[in-house]
Amino acid sequence: MNSRDSALGLRDSRLRPHQRLEVWQDAMDLVEAVYRFSSDFPDAERFALTVQIRRAAISIPSNMAEGAARHSTQEYLHFLSIARGSLSELDTQLQIAMRLGYAKPSQNLPDLVDRVFATLNALIKSLSASKPNSSVLPNPKSRIPNPHAR
C-alpha cells in the first residue's frame, strides 16, 4: 500500500474509480499544499482571498469525482472542464497572493499546478477522442464510470 492509499485508508481494490486516477490524487495533493500555503495569510484575508483560494482548490478534485460518477463521456468532460476552470482560477489567485506578499513563493505549488494541468488536459484529450455520447462505464453492471481505472 503506497502513502496515498494509506492516507485514504483503503487498499487499491477498494478505491473508488476517481480515487484511482493519478490526476485526482495530484489534485488532492494540491489541496493540501494550498491549505498549508494559505495558512499564514493575514487575518484580514481570512474571509476573502484565503476562502477563494481554498474553494478553488477543493473544486478541482471534487468536480473530477463528480464527473467520474456520471453516465456519459459528455457529462464527464463537462465536470473535467469545470475542474480545469477552477485550476486556472486557483493559479491566478496564487499569483495574486504572492504579488501581495501574503506568502513566500512556494516551489512545489507551481509544480503541482503544472502537473495537474498536464494530467487533466491529457485525460480530457483522451476522453474527447472517444465518442462524445458514449458511455464511460467499464461494464454494464457498474454504476460508476471511469475509463482509466487501474
pLDDT greater than 50 at residue 145 = no
Is residue 142 included in any domain, yes or no? no
- Mean model confidence pLDDT for the chain: 83
Contact criterion met (CB below 8 Å) for 94 and 37: yes
CATH number at residue 26: 1.20.1440.60
Amino acid 104: pLDDT:
81
Is residue 50 included in any domain, yes or no? yes
User: Structurally, how many domains does the chain consist of?
Assistant: 1
Reading the block at residue 7, the C-alpha cell is 492516507
Residue 131: pLDDT band with limits 50, 70, 90: low
Per the structure, the complete domain to which residue 93 belongs is given by 17-129
Contact criterion met (CB below 8 Å) for 60 and 31: yes
Is residue 41 included in any domain, yes or no? yes
Is residue 77 included in any domain, yes or no? yes
Is residue 10 included in any domain, yes or no? no
Amino acid 13: pLDDT:
60
1 vs 6: CA distance, rounded Å: 6
Reading the block at residue 127, the C-alpha cell is 476522453
71 vs 126: CA distance, rounded Å: 17
